[in-house]
A and B are shown apart, each in its own frame.
Chain A
Amino acid sequence: MMAPLFSSKLLIVLLFGTLFGLILGVLPGLGPTTGGALILPFTMTLDPLSAIVLLTSIYCAGTYGGAITAVLINTPGTPAAAATCLDGYPLAQKGEAGRALGMATVSSTVGGIFSVIVLVFFAPVLAKLAYEFGQPEYFALAIFGLTMLASIGEGSPIKNLIAGAFGILISTIGKDFMTSIDRFTYGINELSVGIGFIPVVVGLFAISEMLTQSTLLDQVFKRVALKAVKLPSLDDYKKTWKTILRSSGIGSFIGVLPAEGGTVASLIGYSEAKRFSKEPEEFGKGSIEGIAGAEAANNAATGGAMVPTLALGIPGSATTAVILTGLIIHGVRPGPDLFREQPDFLYGIFGAMLIANVLFFIFGFFGAKLFARITLVPNKILWPMIFAVSVCGTYSLSQSIIDVWIMLFFGVLGFFMRRFGFSVVPVIIGLILGELVEGTLRQSLVIFDGNWLMFLTRPIALTFFILSLIALAFPLLRTKKQKD
């Protein structure tokens, strides 16, 4: 499994990816999704395996990196670390920042490694199942993915559905892939090739965050001093090992579902840790179990989210959507055939994720103090620099200035979407699934001779439709239960 990784080039890529991921994770507002999108053009200089190893190591380390700022300045470096703030910061305020970060590092590593094991065993099984899928089944699966995203993603499910539909709508811009008829191009030649993924991702994540930061300039961070990261004590291990394992399972499962994996997983992991705890009253006041529950779950979601990405070509999160784009750019088509034809490539990815989890443990343990200092770079210096990289990165893929303007447009749009409670993640997933949804729907209708009811005669497709209905009903039931 590790054989393809025993090359100095790949190890350097892994080291760089892990370090870069940690820096991205530490900086509030940035994260593995934005970082992955920004680095995507550079991966063109690498071979496919090195490129995907770079992106996955950024994903693993970036997810963990968010915990450092969550503990030290009470601001999650990534949304997935939001639940870590609840107990990490109170514990740091008690003078135990090292202990809090030690637990975050250990539980993130265990969660991450657990999820890679799940990935190694579960992805090939899912890929084998996918051989049974035809166009109608893929259509139903994509619909299920989008409804799950709306249902268990952040915020209002209806707003998430609107955002997802908007993402699919963006994918229809340009020449229709079946008939070559222009749609929404309005005579602009550049739009006939459609809207690229990178300008939209960089706009919705990096540029909209820049605008958000412009509204928070008077914000003052109270940074807790950190002497050194401490490994958890034997008592801490005794107290948390069940929580870490439970959250690793929860995170891996949530990660497999197409949704904003890490964020949702950490919230569920945290609440389950509280439910099973002997000291639930300590949660929110600096509970070590709270940190373990949230951190094991969000890192466990990384491997989980890679399962549908590699086995079906359906991203399990926004960052895996970037990884999926990386795969496609490098001519690798995810899906069952990938498991049959390029097992070495896949084992390279699995091994890289495993090593990345070990590497961020080492870097986190010995370098957290240094990484925490990155947060001292003032926004008035940092964000203009990020803008310069965003602009050049976006321009570089197609060498089109229109792409840069599209990025700015989506930056402004993303800011207002977030301001009014619309998550931007469904837009990204909708955009990347758009062609699959429309293509499989239209091809299915050709197969069914235009009869929509024929979808119901396919058992797998019908199952996904029923699951989609359940996914849509779930938030309603949850709201009703909360009211009761």
Chain B
Amino acid sequence: MNNVQNKKRANKSLPFFFKDEFKVFFVIIFFSTILLISTFTFDKVPPILNRGIQPATFPKGLLVLIMFLTTIIYYLSFKNPWKKEKKLPKPFFLTILSFILFVVISKTLDFFLAISVLSIFVSYNWGEKRVFYLLLVGIIFPLVVFIFFEMILGLRFPPGIITNLYYY
């Protein structure tokens, strides 16, 4: 278990807006507020058709509850500051970048190509330099998965420059 335990250090000396507890508090409150405001734009049911509460009431209650509980954890963090997490390494950001690439390629070019590009990109950036293994994760395996899903589940993948070659 020690393998997965990160060494942590207290972050008492940082200004409040750099602290994790403030960042988490801010993000949750910010998005909850936006969502709460948007609930006021929901259509209302006319009183004659309304049974129980309006459709916006339940999500409003949940958002207020989330904001209230978030304020409590932020308040409690003054007494017990959170531990500062280790800085995220380069492969993490490259993996996030690969997700963005995946979305762009799957939307504009081809779903299968997007999987291949992501697999090769991630595998390479995580340290795999051998061409055979890159081809294995990037082409052979996705192809097997693609055909498997297509044949067993009768799944039709979205059209694209490579997928069309298979279908037509």
**Chain A contacts to B: CB under 8 angstroms:** 28, 41-42, 44-45, 73-76, 82, 85-86, 89, 156, 158-159, 161-162, 165-166, 168-169, 172, 176, 178-179, 181-184, 186, 210-211, 214-221, 378-381, 383-385, 387-389, 391-393, 395-396, 399, 401, 404-405, 408, 411-412, 419-421, 438, 441-443, 445-446, 450
- State which of A42, A169, A385 has its C-beta within 8 Å of the C-beta of B152: A42
- Residue from the list B43, B122, B149 in contact with A384, Cβ < 8 A: B122
Chain B residues with CB below 8 A from A156, complex form? 73
Given the known interface contacts A182-B43, A401-B158, A408-B99, the answer about A165 and B153 at a Cβ–Cβ threshold of 8 Å is: no
Asked if B91 contacts A214 (CB within 8 A), the reply is yes
What are 26 of the A-B contact pairs (CB < 8 Å)?
A42-B153, A75-B1, A76-B1, A156-B73, A162-B73, A165-B69, A169-B62, A169-B63, A172-B58, A178-B51, A178-B52, A181-B45, A183-B39, A183-B56, A214-B95, A217-B89, A380-B128, A387-B119, A388-B142, A388-B145, A389-B145, A392-B149, A419-B85, A420-B20, A442-B52, A442-B58
- Inter-subunit contact B106/A387 (CB<8 Å): no
**Shortest CB distance A447–B (Å):** 9
- If over half of A's interface residues share one DSSP class (helix, strand or loop), that class is named, otherwise mixed; here it is helix
Instruction: Please provide the chain B residues from 34 to 67 with a CB less than 8 Å away from any CB of chain A in the complex.
Output: 35, 38-39, 42-43, 45, 49-53, 55-56, 58-59, 62-63, 65-66
The chain B residues found within 8 Å of chain A, CB to CB, are 1-4, 20, 24, 28, 35, 38-39, 42-43, 45, 49-53, 55-56, 58-59, 62-63, 65-66, 69-70, 72-73, 76, 82, 85-86, 88-89, 91-92, 94-96, 99, 102-103, 106-107, 111, 115, 118-120, 122-123, 126-128, 133, 136-138, 141-142, 145-146, 149, 152-153, 155-158
Report Cα–Cα, A404/B104, bound state, in Å. 12
| The residue from A76, A165, A442 contacting B65, defined by CB atoms under 8 A apart | A165
Are the C-beta atoms of A384 and B118 separated by less than 8 Å? Answer: yes
- For the complex with contacts A176-B55, A184-B38, A420-B20, 16 further pairs of A-B residues with Cβ separation under 8 Å are A41-B149, A42-B152, A74-B2, A76-B1, A85-B1, A158-B72, A158-B76, A169-B62, A181-B42, A218-B89, A381-B137, A383-B126, A384-B141, A401-B106, A445-B53, A446-B52
Taking CB as reference atom, which chain B residue is nearest A186? B38
CA–CA, A421 and B25, complex, Å? 13
Report whether B137 and A391 are in contact in the complex, using a CB–CB cutoff of 8 Å.
no
Chain B residues within an 8 Å CB radius of A391: 102, 115
Query: Helix, strand, loop or mixed for chain B's interface?
Result: helix
Complex alpha-carbon distance, A164 and B90, angstroms: 32
Give B121 Cβ to nearest chain A Cβ, in Å. 9
CB-based nearest A residue for B93: A214
8 tightest A-B contacts by CB?
A384-B119, A380-B126, A445-B52, A442-B52, A176-B55, A380-B128, A85-B1, A384-B137
How many residue pairs, one in A and one in B, have C-beta atoms under 8 Å apart?
A: 180
What is the CB-to-nearest-CB distance from A362 to chain B, in angstroms, rounded to a whole number? 28
B45 near A86: Cβ-Cβ < 8 Å = no
Of A28, A184, A218, A404, which contacts B59 at CB under 8 A?
A184
Q: Which A residue's beta carbon lies closest to that of B120?
A: A384
Q: What residue in chain A is nearest B136 (Cβ atoms)?
A: A381
Query: Which residues of the partner chain B approach A443 to less than 8 Å between Cβ atoms?
Result: 52
CB-defined contacts of B56 to chain A, threshold 8 Å: 183
Task: Assess the A387–B118 pair: CB atoms within 8 A.
Answer: yes
Which residues of the partner chain A approach B127 to less than 8 Å between Cβ atoms? 217, 380
Known A82-B1, A86-B1, A401-B111; judge A438-B58 contact (CB<8 A): yes
